[in-house]
Structure 1
Amino acid sequence: MGPIKTALSLIPSFRHSGSRIAYEELPSHDMSHASSPLDESPIMSDSWRKGISAPRRRLGLLLRTSPRRLCLVTLAVFFTLVLIAGGSFRARRYYKEKDKPDERIPYHWELYPRLNGFYNGVRSLVSYSDWVPEQQDTSNTKIQIHKAPPFDPVSVNPYPDYGSDEYLEDHYPVQRCYVDDNEVYPAPDVFAYPGIPAGMTAPFWGSYESIGTAPDRCWERFGRFGPYGYSYNPSEGGLGLANKTAHAGADKIEDMFTKVDYRDVNWGKAQKTCLEKNRKRFNPKAVVGDNDSATGQKKAVKRSAYVLRTWTGYKYTDIQLLSLRAMINELSLKSGGEYDVHLLVHVKDDKIPIWASEEVYNETLRANVPEEFWGITTLWSEQLMRLYYPGPFRDEDNLENHSKSDIYGVYRSAHFALQWFAQQHQEYEFFWNWEMDIRYTGHYYEFHNGVSNWAAEQPRKLLWERSSRFWIPGIHGSWAKFSQHVERETIERNEKPIWGPVEFPTNGLGRLASPNETTPPTTIEEDDYQWGVGEDADLIVFDPLFDPANTNWVFRNDVTGYNTSLETPPRRAAIITVGRLSRRLLNTMHEETYRKHHTMFPEMWPPTVALHHGYKAVYAPHPVYFDRKWPLDVMDKTFNYPTAPQESPFGWGEHNMQGGTFYYNAGFSGALWRRWLGAKENGEGGKKMEESRSDRMCLRGMLYHPIKVESMEN
């Protein structure tokens, strides 16, 4: 089984089907993901999900005695062994005759039963207490389909009770913010159903309760995006996208909100006005004549920058516009200015001197960003980064430049721009680094506030060790039991836990000093899981913080500026460059870069700086779904206990992520997102199918990455 299993990583898992792609081919865009040995192989097809048992049919091909097919399999196994023996990173998953779809050997997970509960709609809603996850329903219970949604939609308000005596005892009141200059349109509410579809699929890892998001409601497109212009006509300031979609119960939702005319909205001005109204919430000490001076100051609310990384030439789809409006409204306006949303736009043409001419800067901005977002946009270029971080970054100081890219290229140093941006905006305590190909079905403030609060409550003891693993509740039980499991496993393996700043040899070159507050107050043995509780996390990521030295991830040695005659410094990485970074972490990354000329691959740099300097870093266990019914013991072994570096999900074993909803190459994410929008996907979905079944999909909050295609065709 060993050689055949290894051979699977060499076989192509997808071919184009006409002009559309099922699990879309993921272009190797310089900002979207870290590549791997599998980059040039397309992502898996969804054609096998149309009712026929394609994986079994293909498996049967292996059992036939065709000499030609037997020869192909033998060659694949031989090729695999040669690659492993040679330590090559140029693995490719192609047969010699790659254009023949029936020659592909299916991955092991493609043989697992398909999960279909995602596609149950609003006319099948049940209360959360009556919900039986699809994976647990062994009786094939027939789902009851109602003529209309059995529950009424409700507005979602995950914010603190700003008007309560409890809140006002410690904070200044929140002043209402508006979308428009004339204060005609208050920041709108959004709506969800207080239930979930019967037979809905459950996530395989992570949980809603753990990160403070409601597990008992679901979101469909009218309630989620209707207040941002999804459903009403362009003549009213909307986008008019709902004309060709199923709409049971949608009229009731539309009666619950006022239509905002988005044609003349200036989001930059709206955010600025909101902040001015609420400024004393964030700087109570600056308030003159504060009546609370005798009894103590009100608490300052910490502010965050929400930074979306985009580029010149980026196409802003209608759904992207809706998502951006949702972010600004839910994070900034509804919270009274707690967040500011920014677009950080990479000017890809280095010959444009955006730093030298205001006119050139504005022309470039207006040509590349929709007008409603001009006021929240900052431009940068790689040439600007060369001026800001002159180095030297010498080739001889780099351990391995696998991509052969320039050190200033965004592919290898996307963090340069974020570091630079943070230096210009020290008013923010935190910086969320977000990508344009992420979508979220739930409420942005609920998710980000919940994740932040959860991270603050995590003790530092064994935090790096917990954050290096996937928490699978079906195997590990509660988060508390999972934490006990990690402690027991660390002891049994005789591993040395990470405790404070990590020391490593520098051969007299010296190191940047770590803050005093990151030095542990006691030994790890004396600590009773107390240090770090209540401390804001410096780094929050959404995939595990793994040690790249234990994998064959191709960028594990893209390390620059350290003594190459010594052992490679200890490092950590988290795939997908999204998450929250504290101001002090970014300031340290900046100083490491300009003082010491240190840098690493973008997904490795923030976690490694946090590791070296003892900053608090966490992997937030948000819910992640898969489209197949994995056996839980197999899932645990596959993701948490790879038998060799090349089997790691962060190396050649990354194919295991393709059927999930969140990873750099998660093919299922795009397919599921488009179905949720009401589009057809591989002959399934669309208006007629939804209406003939239980109407449009209603999903709980879920992060989707990557979304490369956003079609509304049905």
Structure 2
Amino acid sequence: MSLGPRVPCYGPRGQLLSNSSDDVLTSAHLSQKYPVPFAGSHEELGLEKSWMSPDGRYGPYGFGEEDKSYSRTVVDWDTVDWGLLQNDCFALNAHRFTSEAAKFLNNPVRFAWKSAGKVPEDHQWTDFSGSRRTAIILRAYDGYDYKKRDMQHIRSLIVEASLRTGGEYVVVLLVHIRSEEFNPWNSPEEYARAFEHAKIPKELQSIAVLWNEPLLESWYPETLEHRTFWQAFQPLQLFSHYYPEFDHYWQFEMDMRFTGDAGAYLDAVDLWSRKEPRKQAMERSTFFYDPTVFNTTDEFRAAVDEVNRGRSHVWGPVRVREVSPIGPRPPTTDEEDNFEWGVGEDADVIVTSLCADARKSTTWIFRGWVYGFRAGKQGPPRYFCPPAIQRGSRALLHAIHTLQRRGLRIASEATLPSFALWLGLKISAPPLPWYLNDVPDDEERARWMLGGPKASDDGFGKGDPQWGQPDMINSPQMSSTFWWAGGWPGELFEGWLQGKKTQDGKPMYPLKESEGQLYMPNLMLHPVKRE
């Protein structure tokens, strides 16, 4: 059901975004051919093939404002209150949402020790109806050095994903208090001390929420492990428990960037995942979408279906003794389903990169990290999909919250997709476009694709998301614009912003040059390390 027309909201310059030319992103029309992604597809995902210069992309958010040539109104960013702007935008659009929707407020503080009894220990997924809103959770920590690139990125995310969508998204800064000096949950005064210690920029303070590991320990004592390295989603689970007014929760890292309109990108991902059928969704997530082989995702789906002989390894919940499913029952058998079940249904988990069977991986360092299950030496069926930049539904996160309180735990990158499978919920892996650091030859492409669906002997892909580990034989050598690790995305991003070229005087791939300006295609980059 459509939410209805988006009502224009006010931006950081005090004007309606629909009437403010200073707040508009500028995409150039270049004569050069748009580069074909190494994997994924702009067309199939529904993304605009935009070309943006650094000024066209980040000019509205302060990029270049110190230069005399800056043509926009200069904003005093310390006077901007992003929480107020997001809530004012929601107020203008409140009629578009259900009664479950509400303004986001970080005061009064909601997080508390479990023993405080401020909220029920568990929520049932049936306790809430849809609000049609999504929280974008940006993960930061105390003492984080917010550089100008970070601030421009965060501002762009708030304006494009929240304000330009009429409040369909809310951006929240979830700040890890690592110092043991503070106990924020003991008193409002102690929370205020920890908040000051975190050194959060003034413009972001109204969207910031603090957490620490002792808080997680009070809620999940049976898991025994609460460090982000192993349990990156525990803070997100707890956030959904205390802030249940959202249907979905994106977990974003500070070292990612959108080089086009972030809101349009997230809208495209959401729409694509809603259209994806449940049948063979897990199988498809283990293959890259190769645009040199497939013209459409329908062709790709047919190829995966062929090697699976019309069957689906996952049909309804994957049975695990410790987990009671909450998802719907399949309406028919997998053989009889013509890729109809799940179409029009929100995905409970959206992953952003390749998935693989944790039990078969030879390189994933967490492959044996599974506790609380009675499933033999290998543990229950589970899939990992690094990085932990994923979207989880309220139903999924609330269910994981309850199951982790009972001591069930697996590593971060496997948490959302695996629990979704056991609970009978929907998973989606959209064809996000990304590039290598050069046009690959056939040998390098083969190293990544490993024959695609045609080479599969069990219906799943042969790739391993941990490529780059030293023990991988014939592993790919070229860097990608979106991966769980690597320095290339940061080099590309900074090269674009600074106008750097290669030693032979050419733009770094896939940038293009026109009239002395460098232009970037529409991408999600990760990891972009600090400048």
* TM-score when normalising by structure 2: 0.84
The secondary structure found in structure 1 opposite 2:52 is coil
Taking the aligned partners of 2:237 and 2:272, their CA distance within structure 1 comes to 25
* CA pair 360-451 structure 1, distance change in 2 beyond 3 A: same
* CA pair 496-450 structure 1, distance change in 2 beyond 3 A: closer
Equivalence for 1:179: 11
Equivalent of residue 92 in structure 2, options 277, 280, 284: 277
Cα distance, 1:411 vs. partner?
0.9
Q: Confirm whether residue 218 of structure 1 aligns to residue 51 of structure 2.
A: yes
Cα distance, 1:186 vs. partner?
2.8
Equivalent of residue 318 in structure 2, options 502, 509, 514: 502
**Is the contact between residue 311 and residue 335 of structure 2 (CA under 8 Å) also seen in structure 1?**
no
- Mapping for residues 507-656 of structure 1, pairs under 5 Å: 511-517=322-328, 519-552=329-362, 553-563=364-374, 565=376, 567-594=378-405, 596-632=406-442, 634-641=444-451, 648-651=464-467, 652=469, 653=472, 656=476
Equivalence for 1:669: 489
Equivalent of residue 373 in structure 1, options 185, 188, 204: 204
- Residues 599-637 of structure 1: CA distance to partner in whole angstroms, max 9, x if unpaired? 111001111101111211111211110123323475245
Taking the aligned partners of 2:223 and 2:36, their CA distance within structure 1 comes to 50
Taking the aligned partners of 1:702 and 1:285, their CA distance within structure 2 comes to 33
* CA pair 661-655 structure 1, distance change in 2 beyond 3 A: farther
* CA pair 650-418 structure 1, distance change in 2 beyond 3 A: same
Equivalent of residue 434 in structure 1, options 245, 252, 258: 252
Q: Which amino acid aligns with 1:628?
A: D
- Residues 508-527 of structure 1: CA distance to partner in whole angstroms, max 9, x if unpaired? xxx3321252x211000111
- Residues 547-587 of structure 1: CA distance to partner in whole angstroms, max 9, x if unpaired? 12222111111112112645410001101110211111111
Cα distance, 1:696 vs. partner?
2.1
Taking the aligned partners of 1:624 and 1:483, their CA distance within structure 2 comes to 19
Taking the aligned partners of 1:674 and 1:659, their CA distance within structure 2 comes to 16
The secondary structure found in structure 2 opposite 1:413 is coil
- Mapping for residues 362-441 of structure 1, pairs under 5 Å: 362-367=192-197, 368-391=199-222, 393=224, 407-441=225-259
RMSD across aligned positions (CA): 3.1
Q: Which amino acid aligns with 2:27?
A: Y
Cα distance, 1:462 vs. partner?
1.3
Equivalent of residue 328 in structure 1, options 158, 178, 182: 158
Equivalence for 2:36: 202
* CA pair 346-673 structure 1, distance change in 2 beyond 3 A: same
Q: Which amino acid aligns with 1:196?
A: L
Taking the aligned partners of 2:91 and 2:501, their CA distance within structure 1 comes to 46
Cα distance, 1:197 vs. partner?
5.5
Taking the aligned partners of 2:396 and 2:300, their CA distance within structure 1 comes to 28
Cα distance, 1:327 vs. partner?
0.6
Equivalence for 2:521: 700
Q: Which amino acid aligns with 2:93?
A: N
**Is the contact between residue 371 and residue 409 of structure 2 (CA under 8 Å) also seen in structure 1?**
yes
Equivalence for 1:659: 479
Greater radius of gyration (CA): 1
Equivalent of residue 460 in structure 1, options 272, 278, 296: 278
Cα distance, 1:497 vs. partner?
2.0
Taking the aligned partners of 1:387 and 1:468, their CA distance within structure 2 comes to 36
Taking the aligned partners of 2:505 and 2:371, their CA distance within structure 1 comes to 48
- Residues 106-143 of structure 1: CA distance to partner in whole angstroms, max 9, x if unpaired? xxxxxxxxxxxxxxxxxxxxxxxxxxxxxxxxxxxxxx
Greater CA drift, 537-546 or 358-367 = 358-367
Taking the aligned partners of 1:589 and 1:283, their CA distance within structure 2 comes to 25
* CA pair 314-320 structure 1, distance change in 2 beyond 3 A: same
* CA pair 686-360 structure 1, distance change in 2 beyond 3 A: farther
Equivalence for 2:296: 478
**Is the contact between residue 559 and residue 601 of structure 1 (CA under 8 Å) also seen in structure 2?**
yes
Equivalence for 1:263: 78
- Residues 270-298 of structure 1: CA distance to partner in whole angstroms, max 9, x if unpaired? 112222232222126999xxxxxxxxxxx
Cα distance, 1:670 vs. partner?
1.3
Q: Confirm whether residue 351 of structure 1 aligns to residue 184 of structure 2.
A: no
The secondary structure found in structure 1 opposite 2:380 is coil
Taking the aligned partners of 1:703 and 1:285, their CA distance within structure 2 comes to 31
Equivalence for 1:307: 137
The secondary structure found in structure 1 opposite 2:149 is helix
Taking the aligned partners of 1:631 and 1:267, their CA distance within structure 2 comes to 46
**Is the contact between residue 53 and residue 518 of structure 2 (CA under 8 Å) also seen in structure 1?**
yes
Equivalence for 2:126: none
Taking the aligned partners of 2:408 and 2:254, their CA distance within structure 1 comes to 27
Q: Which amino acid aligns with 2:37?
A: P
Taking the aligned partners of 1:657 and 1:307, their CA distance within structure 2 comes to 32
Taking the aligned partners of 1:280 and 1:539, their CA distance within structure 2 comes to 27
**Is the contact between residue 355 and residue 465 of structure 2 (CA under 8 Å) also seen in structure 1?**
no
Q: Which amino acid aligns with 2:360?
A: N
Cα distance, 1:658 vs. partner?
4.8
- Residues 378-420 of structure 1: CA distance to partner in whole angstroms, max 9, x if unpaired? 1000111111112164xxxxxxxxxxxxx11111111111100
The secondary structure found in structure 2 opposite 1:536 is coil
Q: Which amino acid aligns with 1:418?
A: L
Unmatched runs of 5 consecutive residues or more in structure 2: 103-128
Taking the aligned partners of 1:385 and 1:271, their CA distance within structure 2 comes to 28
Residues paired across the two proteins, number = 486
Taking the aligned partners of 2:292 and 2:82, their CA distance within structure 1 comes to 43
Taking the aligned partners of 1:700 and 1:605, their CA distance within structure 2 comes to 32
* CA pair 353-556 structure 1, distance change in 2 beyond 3 A: same
Q: Which amino acid aligns with 1:577?
A: A
The secondary structure found in structure 1 opposite 2:521 is coil
Taking the aligned partners of 2:223 and 2:484, their CA distance within structure 1 comes to 31
**Is the contact between residue 361 and residue 464 of structure 2 (CA under 8 Å) also seen in structure 1?**
yes
Taking the aligned partners of 1:709 and 1:655, their CA distance within structure 2 comes to 27
Greater helix content? 1
Give aligned-pair identity as a percent.
30
- Residues 146-192 of structure 1: CA distance to partner in whole angstroms, max 9, x if unpaired? xxxxxxxxxxxxxxxxxxxxx9xx65654432235xx8333454323
Cα distance, 1:194 vs. partner?
4.2
Taking the aligned partners of 1:205 and 1:436, their CA distance within structure 2 comes to 24
- Mapping for residues 90-105 of structure 1, pairs under 5 Å: none
Unmatched runs of 5 consecutive residues or more in structure 1: 1-166, 233-239, 244-250, 288-298, 394-406
- Mapping for residues 218-257 of structure 1, pairs under 5 Å: 218-232=51-65, 240=66, 242=67
* CA pair 175-646 structure 1, distance change in 2 beyond 3 A: closer
**Is the contact between residue 279 and residue 334 of structure 2 (CA under 8 Å) also seen in structure 1?**
yes
Taking the aligned partners of 1:647 and 1:693, their CA distance within structure 2 comes to 37
Greater CA drift, 444-453 or 621-630 = 621-630
Q: Which amino acid aligns with 2:247?
A: E
Taking the aligned partners of 2:262 and 2:446, their CA distance within structure 1 comes to 30
* CA pair 198-286 structure 1, distance change in 2 beyond 3 A: closer
